[in-house]
Amino acid sequence: MTERLYQADAYLKTFESTVQVLTEEGVILERTAFFPTGGGVQGDEGTLAAGGESWRVVETVERDDHIVHRLDRPGPPAGTALAGTLDWERRYRLMRHHTATHVLCGVMFNDWGVKVTGNQLTPEKGRVDFSFEAFDRAVLEEGFRRANALIAQDLPVRISFISAAEAAGRPELFKLESGFRHHLEQLRLVEIVGFDVQADGGCHVASLKEIGALALTKSENKGKANRRVYFVLD
């Protein structure tokens, strides 16, 4: 199982590691700060460097409990010590979009009982699918206003771990599913202090002010009770 450095420290931009396996798809490292695509969030890009050579990580994906770094050319062999560097600007935008999604989804659920059914986050924009029994544009706009008011309060975001048994009786922990692995014995929790807590394996900012401000760009019908909502960050 790859050690996931980003789960303890989402702000880690460089790290040292060793190639565990070179597969046809890419390299598996003993530990990595690269987040793999999952839960509707794009995986990381960046570089790996060893012995004066460097490889571009074009995509990071999850295979069983391993993280595979897809490279621009055949990678170094097992046992190679290397240094990894994230494309930090890209990752930080993903962290801001991801945390913004928690705030917006928390507001929509807490205040109107509107559930999220899916999300797709890129460095450029966020997309969330909401299950709206009777869609009301004014409610959605008010949701964005309340989300921005929370962001302006600059609440801290904290990471903690609990056992799967402790989480079993708490369905509110599973409103969003981003990079979350249900089979693990230890669950990782992401808490926006005083507002919301979720079981979540992804990368988030440490305080809400880092998000900036959320702007609704578009909403469209995707079936009877499903509204697809797009946002950007100012």
User: In whole angstroms, how close is the CB of 38 to Zn ion at the nearest point?
Assistant: 11
**Closer residue to Zn ion, CB minimum distance, 123 or 139:** 123
Distance of closest approach, residue 101 Cβ to Zn ion, in angstroms: 7
In the complex with Zn ion, the residue whose CB is nearer, 129 or 200, is: 200
Enumerate residues 6+ apart whose C-beta is below 8 A from 144: 104, 214, 215, 216, 231
CB of 17 to Zn ion, least distance (A): 24
CB closer to Zn ion out of 12 and 22: 12
Is 30 exposed, middle or buried, given 0-12, 13-18 or 19+ CB atoms closer than 10 A?
middle
Q: How far apart are CA 60 and CA 188, in angstroms?
A: 20
Which among 90, 41, 76 is positioned nearest to 61, based on CA atoms? 41
Query: Closer to Zn ion at the Cβ: 126 or 202?
Result: 202
- Residue 5 or 29: the one with the smaller Cβ distance to Zn ion is 5
CA-closest candidate to residue 2, choices 45, 59, 64 = 64
Instruction: Please identify the residue of the shown chain whose CB is closest to the bound Zn ion.
Output: 200
Interface ranges with Zn ion (CB under 5 A): 178, 200, 202
Nearer to Zn ion, 61 or 189 (CB): 189
Q: Which residues pair with 188 in a beta bridge?
A: 161
CA distance 49 to 30: 15
Distance of closest approach, residue 164 Cβ to Zn ion, in angstroms: 18
Q: Are the C-beta atoms of 66 and 28 separated by less than 8 Å?
A: yes
State the CB neighbour count (10 A cutoff) for residue 208: 26
Least distance in angstroms from the C-beta of 90 to Zn ion? 17
**Residue 126 beta carbon to Zn ion: minimum distance, rounded to whole angstroms:** 12
What Å distances lie between residue 92 and 16, 169, 185, 210, 219, CA to CA? 20, 33, 29, 10, 25
